[in-house]
């Protein structure tokens, strides 16, 4: 498949480039433009980003492969990034991951046959106080997971309903 940016993408990329005194720092946001357009940044997409920015392919590849938020292969419509770092582990993160795997009939790193879901085991999503948790397609966090909450999330996503933003109240400690 030949990848090309749309006219709108190129206009957005020019605006991004204008924010920086040199082009290298534009790599991260332009990779986001590419991922939003194509759903991933596999090597052919990385090549397009490099050519568009006039940067070496090795630089773009290095950035894309360093960050887990960039998908290096085609993924499902919804990507469930399940945190299994220490806080989430201690609060049942692996139990949640295995429940999702059983519910969807796939293992972490796989995509359902219908292309609807991909599941990934990820390291810290930076919300340890809300463990166990997951992130839906680099977007909304779903916190304090239970098997019932996961079942409801998957059902809603199958119906095309994105989860609402969750604002969690942090208990106040008396000093």
pLDDT single digits (tens) 7-34: 999 999 999 999 999 999 999 999 999 9
Structural domain contains residue 163: no
* Dist. CA 75–CA 87, nearest whole Å: 27
76 half-sphere exposure, CB direction, 13 A CA radius = 24
* Helix/strand/coil for 162: coil
Q: Cβ distance 79 to 39 under 8 Å?
A: no
Q: Where in the sequence is the domain holding 146, given as residue range(s)?
A: 78-158
Q: Which of 75, 87, 26, 84 is nearest to 52 (CA)?
A: 26
- Mean pLDDT for 50-60 is 97
Same domain, yes or no: 48 and 88: no
- Residue 115, pLDDT above cutoff 90: yes
Q: What is the mean pLDDT of the chain?
A: 91
Same domain, yes or no: 46 and 103: no
Q: How many CB atoms lie within 10 A of CB 27?
A: 21
Q: Containing H/E element for 82?
A: strand 78-83
Structural domain contains residue 25: yes
Percentage above 90 pLDDT, the chain: 78
Give the number of domains in the chain. Answer: 2
């Amino acid at each position: 498949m030949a990848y090309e940016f749309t006219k709108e993408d190129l206009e957005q990329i020019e605006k991004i480039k204008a924010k920086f005194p040199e082009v290298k720092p534009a790599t991260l946001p332009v990779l986001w433009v590419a991922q939003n357009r194509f759903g991933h940044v596999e090597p052919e997409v990385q090549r397009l980003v490099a050519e568009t920015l006039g940067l070496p392919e090795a630089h773009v590849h290095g950035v894309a492969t360093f960050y887990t938020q960039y998908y290096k292969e085609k993924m499902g419509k919804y990507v469930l990034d399940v945190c299994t770092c220490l806080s989430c582990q201690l609060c049942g993160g692996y139990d949640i991951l295995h429940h999702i795997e059983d519910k969807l009939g796939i293992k972490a790193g796989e995509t359902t046959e219908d292309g609807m879901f991909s599941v990934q085991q990820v390291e810290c999503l930076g919300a340890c106080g809300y463990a166990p948790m997951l992130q839906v397609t680099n977007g909304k966090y779903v916190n304090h997971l239970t098997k019932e909450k996961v079942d409801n999330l998957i059902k809603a996503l199958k119906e095309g309903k994105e989860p609402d933003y969750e604002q969690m109240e942090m208990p106040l400690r008396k000093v």
